[in-house]
Amino acid sequence: MAPIKSTESRTGGKLLRGGRSTDVTSDIDGGRTEISGRREDNLTTLLTVSGGTKIESGNDRYHVFTTPGTFTTGVELTAEVLVIGGGGSGAGAAYGAGGGAGGVLHAPSTSIAKGRYVVAVSGQGYEGGWYNTGGDGDDSSFGDAIAKGGGGGTGYLNGPAVRRGPTAGTFSRKGRAGGSSGGSGVAQPGSPVSPDPVLPQPAPSDYTPYGNLGGAGGDGSAPAGYAGGGGGGAGAVGTDAGSGNPGGPGGAGRAFPGFPAPVIAPAIPSPNTAWISAVGPTGIFAGGGGGGNYYTISPTTGSSGGTGGGGGGAPGAAPNGAQAAEDAIRFTGSGGGGGNYPSYPLVSHGGKGADGIVIVKYSVA
């Protein structure tokens, strides 16, 4: 990020060189950080970088942002950075499609110049209500690297889109564009609809963007019938609605092994058990939401969300009314599951898209 070289970036380190520090304790950001046996030039790094929740693991330090904030450094850093937009929400009844995962930007190694960097983190999305398209996720960013929010899934009766509130969008059965696009809803017989495209994600050249298309919904006739497509994930496209009226599973998330759940978990708001399970030791994020089933499908066979936290689509309606779609796992950037046909007065809402996350990692060895 902003590979600006600074001749003064190591000044503090030069003042301390000539030996090794031992058992140094310093007040930082209102807390106390214990630093023992580290080289003194690296002590400067520890004392001049702030922002987010700080975690040290071995020779690495992580700054984890689950809410907006500022990353500040008094030294030039070489860092690994992960920026994930908020997931799109699944559509509500009828036969709603899954939400697309938030876009992902990953820099395996980027230069961060001295200065302050604004960090934006998308919050949790709004579910799609009765006949409403799911809400789009909001963008997350680190400086000038912007990960786009995921697109909302759409439904059979293509109601207005909701973008994190009651603002109406356009009427369409096409899955909405985003970092990964939402799944599409049920189309006119014989005319399945593909989703809108994946959006570009502005970032410096040392970042790689990830995002995929959602799946198509059923075409309103046999064999695909009436079901929603899965939302796109960072690692794979969403699946089309299948034969026999099941919703399409969400696209898989993508693994980023530099950010394993056991290390990052202390920075995730409690309860974080589901987050640890979804992200796992290989750091999988941004799965798409599963599409909602047709209401005659068995209540136990809802379509699966994509790995990395995608919400499952609603199973068929139970004898007493519509069943719920699953929300995406928070702080994974994943898409919410699609709803199914309502049984009035009960309504099957789409699942909520997940919050995004921003993580900065560098060495303090």
Residue-wise pLDDT for 167-201, tens only, equals 444 456 789 999 999 999 887 676 667 888 999 99
Task: Provide the greatest CA pair distance for the chain.
Answer: 78
User: How high is the pLDDT of residue 16?
Assistant: 25
Give me the sign of the Cα torsion angle 34, 37, 40, 42: negative
Q: CA angle at residue 267 from 261 to 269, to 5 degrees?
A: 100
The Cα 2–Cα 5 span in angstroms is 9
Cα 50 to Cα 72, 128, 207, 209, distances in angstroms:
5, 38, 22, 26
CB atoms within 10 A of CB 151: 44
Work out the number of other CB atoms within 10 angstroms of the CB of residue 335.
55
CA–CA distance, 242 with 258 (Å, rounded to integer): 35
Strand 31-35 to 208-210 pairing: unpaired
Query: Does residue 140 carry a pLDDT above 70?
Result: yes
Higher pLDDT, 95 or 343: 95
Q: 303: which 2 tokens?
A: 């379509």
Residue corresponding to tokens 């949790």: 124
3-state secondary structure 244-308: CCCCCCCCCCEECCCCCHHHHHHHCCCCCHHHHHHHCCCCEECCCCCCCCCCCCCCCCCCCCCCC
pLDDT at res. 26: 30
Q: According to the model, what pLDDT value does residue 24 have?
A: 27
For residues 133 and 320, the model is more confident at 133
Contact criterion met (CB below 8 Å) for 75 and 49: yes
pLDDT in tens, 10-45: 223 222 222 222 222 233 333 333 333 344 455 556
- Cα separation of 280 and 112, whole Å? 28
pLDDT band at 225 (very low <50, low <70, confident <90, very high): confident
Are residues 328 and 338 in contact, defined by beta-carbon separation less than 8 angstroms? no
Rounded to two decimals, the pTM is 0.84
127 vs 271, which has greater pLDDT?
Answer: 271
Distance, CA of 49 to chain centre: 25
- According to the model, what pLDDT value does residue 43 have? 57
Are the CB atoms for 313 and 218 separated by under 8 Å?
no
Task: Locate 33 and state its tokens.
Answer: 């950080």
CA 284/CA 4 separation, integer angstroms: 31
Radius of gyration, alpha carbons of the chain: 22
pLDDT digits (tens, 9 = 90+) for 232-255: 999 999 999 877 778 999 999 999
Q: Which two tokens stand for residue 50?
A: 């702030």
Average pLDDT of 346-358?
Answer: 88
Instruction: Give the angle 266-272-273 at the CA atoms, nearest 5°.
Output: 115
